[in-house]
Amino acid sequence: MKYRRSGRLVDMTEYLLRHPHQSVSLTFFSEKYNSAKSSISEDIGIIKEVFEQKGIGRLATSAGVSGGVIFVPTIDDKEALDTVHSICEQLKDPSRLLPGGYLYMMDIIGDPERMQLMGRIFASYFKDAQVDVVMTMATKGIPLAYAVASHLNVPVSIVRHEQRVTEGSIVSINYVSGSSQRIQTMSLSKRSLQSGARVLIIDDFMKAGGTIRGMMDLSEEFQATVVGAGVLMEAMHDKEKLVDNYVSLTKLFGVDAKDKKIHVEKGNMFP
């Protein structure tokens, strides 16, 4: 069956969006649509123009017989900033104040569309970091980690506090939670991280950075390289953080339980 250009454009757009960071050969599309490579090349040119103009992503093309295309997801600067601003506004809602100065955030973490947007922001930021795997800490970091990983086309490694019989051999380390100064244990299944892998650490919240520091040390046990870290929210506090190399989407400056004020602003990713 032969496809007309309009049908090809719809189907190719869908295919590329579902296969980020993967090289797709012109031959593949040419056979899929029973169309000449020259027509496929023109289609890709049209998609590329729209994707780049709208900030949807980059289409990196390579020429020649083995020529192909790779879709690299990005996000429009304005859309990224709008997303973060709207999260900040939502976070200022005093009804999310909990006893002990904690903030209820499950409505934001529980929203898959929001998570996908934040995932795109991080995937765009780390698009050239050659990430092999996204690492996160159970439980609340998991949704954001998957959103980032799905846009980078890499697997997720889930670090846990407790050990599970369903994980096989594990590597455990002790670490010091930076804010409470308590010694805790974190574990990762031996099979879930390859030696030499390039790791991107993603988590929902960072205070002193003890957990992320722990994941960095754990990665070292696997001879893996941490290429960066990203958090949905960092809490600003007086002491020096235990990690330098991280980006945050939002900054929590403080919570005033008496006046019911939550002071939150965009994170260090946005200058």
Subset of residues 193 to 232 that bind its own copies, contact rule: CB under 8 A: none
Mark 28-47 with x for binding to its own copies (rule: CB under 8 A) and - for no binding.
------------------xx
Number of chain residues interacting with its own copies (CB under 8 A): 55
Between CA 267 and CA 253 the distance in angstroms is 11
Residue among 127, 167, 168, 118 at smallest CA distance from 146? 118
Q: Among 38, 52, 93, 112, which residue sits at the site for its own copies (rule: CB under 8 A)?
A: 112
**Strand order in 261-266's β-sheet?**
156-159, 133-137, 198-206, 225-235, 247-256, 261-266
In the numeric block, the tokens 């010694």 are attached to: 183
Between CA 124 and CA 150 the distance in angstroms is 12
Mark 135-154 with x for binding to its own copies (rule: CB under 8 A) and - for no binding.
---xxx-xx--xx-xx--xx
Smallest distance from the beta carbon of 244 to its own copies, in angstroms? 26
Smallest distance from the beta carbon of 65 to its own copies, in angstroms? 26
Secondary element (H or E) of residue 201: strand 198-206
Q: Among 31, 36, 49, 220, which residue sits at the site for its own copies (rule: CB under 8 A)?
A: 49
Indicate whether 257 belongs to the interface with its own copies (CB under 8 A): no
Stretch that binds its own copies, among 132-140, 175-183, 224-232, 249-257 (CB under 8 A): 132-140
Q: Among 38, 93, 168, 174, which residue sits at the site for its own copies (rule: CB under 8 A)?
A: 168
Indicate whether 113 belongs to the interface with its own copies (CB under 8 A): yes
CB 252 within 8 A of CB 88: no
Between CA 80 and CA 129 the distance in angstroms is 19
Query: 32 vs 271, which CB is nearer to its own copies?
Result: 32
Q: Among 31, 36, 38, 50, which residue sits at the site for its own copies (rule: CB under 8 A)?
A: 50
> What secondary structure letter does DSSP report for 160?
B
Indicate whether 235 belongs to the interface with its own copies (CB under 8 A): no
The CA distances from residue 133 to 39, 118, 191, 196, in Å, are 36, 17, 13, 11
Which two structure tokens, joined as six digits, stand for 20?
Answer: 């980020």
Helix 142-152 to helix 112-125 angle, to the nearest 10 degrees? 50
Smallest distance from the beta carbon of 189 to its own copies, in angstroms? 6
Stretch that binds its own copies, among 13-21, 82-90, 231-239, 253-261 (CB under 8 A): 13-21
Smallest distance from the beta carbon of 111 to its own copies, in angstroms? 5
Indicate whether 160 belongs to the interface with its own copies (CB under 8 A): yes
CB 71 within 8 A of CB 21: yes
Q: Residue 167, class by beta-carbon neighbours within 10 Å (0-12 exposed, 13-18 middle, 19+ buried)?
A: middle
* Interface residues toward its own copies, by CB under 8 A: 5-7, 9-11, 13-14, 17-18, 46-47, 49-51, 54, 56, 98-100, 102-107, 110-113, 115-116, 138-140, 142-143, 146-147, 149-150, 153-158, 160, 165-168, 189, 191-192
